[in-house]
Amino acid sequence: MDYKSAGVNIKAGEDSVNRIKPLVKETFNKNVLSQIGGFGGLYQVDLTSWKEPVLVSSADGVGTKLIIAKMAGIYNTVGQDLVNHCVNDIFVQGAIPQYFLDYVGVGKLNPQVMEQIIWGFAKACKENEMALIGGEMAEMPGIYVEDDFDLAGTIVGLVEKKNIITGQQITKGDVILGFPSTGLHTNGYSLARKVLFEKMKLTVDSLIPNLNETVPEAMLTVHKSYLPSLKEWARPELIHGMAHITGGGIPGNLARVIPNDLTAEINCQSWDVPAIFKILVENGNIAQDESYRAFNMGIGMIVVASSTIANEIKAKTNAIQIGFINEKISDLKVRMNY
């Protein structure tokens, strides 16, 4: 017997590493001290640029969006989804991303597929100006079936201690801004797949009725990073609080940053819900409250700021005013006004 007969192809792993080396190398900057293939990634913090740096880290996955990617044979978007999701998660605390680590688990290594996945990681890392300094490709027959794969990522960023955004600066009268999503981002896919494939009887090649997009076109749009458009205001005296709208939707995520003595009033009529969400809600007969918790419903990031700063942000971005901060009215930190 040998390792290959047991389901692990060392040669395929080596071929995959050789394919991804130039992609990963493109993300390196002067702070990366290690080379590809080492046991650990070495990253030197430029202390001339930071006075009281605080490390901010997060880990996440893409969820069942991967199933649609596999069905469609499209692998170059999900890595971007994961990087951008992680960037948003640390940016809401004011952190600027420094480096990223990826994990890819597969049933059977396909070097061409692996190259597309890592291409997506590298593309998003470059767009967010951070290094992809390491990762793991694991071929695990018995854990994953042959064509299955899973992704996870860890991000590390830095924020000046005085610039950490916690939400504690939020006060009555602050304005709530919403930033449009590019689609479902990376949440709600288990419910969306049930609606599309079980209720609507669509296939991965189908055009979605009343949308004029195929299932992959609508469902594999890349999760947006909000760092580039918002980083100039990422200080607590300007942005009082931020929430990345992921699992749990607006009520579940915005509540995480609202002080206990305040309520966020959300006007759900203040933005146009994208057609894909309307189609999923109608065909799935999904209750209104449930839809705003399962999906982002067109809002991918929320910023809370004074009216003066909110007007400045609106003038320079595509932000929409979707609510305001009120005194505590009930036990609800977030009140959805439909």
Q: Say how many Å lie between the first and final Cα of the chain, rounded.
A: 64
For residue 112, the Cα-to-chain-centroid distance in whole angstroms is 24
Q: Which residues contact 155 (CB under 8 A, 6 or more apart)?
A: 57, 58, 59, 83, 86, 87, 89, 90, 97, 99, 100, 101, 130
Query: For residue 37, what is the domain's CATH number?
Result: 3.30.1330.10
Residues 315, 214 share a domain = yes
Q: Tens digits of per-residue pLDDT, 28-78?
A: 999 999 988 889 999 999 999 999 999 999 999 999 999 999 999 999 999
At which of 161, 190, 223 does a domain end?
161
Query: d(Cα 211, Cα 207) in Å, to the nearest integer?
Result: 8
Sole residue written with tokens 């288990």: 190
Q: Please report whether residue 290 resides in a domain.
A: yes
Q: Which of 275, 280, 255 is nearest to 265 (CA)?
A: 255
Query: d(Cα 13, Cα 325) in Å, to the nearest integer?
Result: 53
Q: Taking the alpha carbons of 322, 326, 329, 331 in that order, is the dihedral positive or negative?
A: positive
Indicate if the pLDDT at residue 149 is higher than 80.
yes
Q: Please report whether residue 166 resides in a domain.
A: no
Q: Please report whether residue 234 resides in a domain.
A: yes
| Structure confidence at residue 330 as a pLDDT band (50, 70, 90) | confident
At which of 110, 128, 161 does a domain end?
161
Query: For residue 324, what is the domain's CATH number?
Result: 3.90.650.10
Residues 179, 121 share a domain = no
Residues 202, 157 share a domain = no
Q: Please report whether residue 301 resides in a domain.
A: yes
For the chain, what is the domain count? 2
Which range of residues forms the domain containing residue 299?
A: 175-337
Sole residue written with tokens 């996870």: 152
Q: Tens digits of per-residue pLDDT, 88-107?
A: 999 999 999 999 999 999 99
Residues 306, 269 share a domain = yes
| Structure confidence at residue 2 as a pLDDT band (50, 70, 90) | confident
- Mean pLDDT for the stretch of residues 177-205: 98
What pLDDT is stored for residue 304 in this prediction? 98
Residues 293, 211 share a domain = yes
Q: Please report whether residue 170 resides in a domain.
A: no
- Mean pLDDT for the stretch of residues 227-235: 97
Q: Please report whether residue 168 resides in a domain.
A: no
Residues 330, 184 share a domain = yes
- Mean pLDDT for the stretch of residues 292-298: 98
- Across-strand partners of 60? 153
At which of 110, 134, 161 does a domain end?
161
3-state secondary structure 265-316: EEECCCCCCCHHHHHHHHHHCCCHHHHHHHCCCCEEEEEEECHHHHHHHHHH
Phi–psi pair at 48, nearest 5 degrees: -75, -20
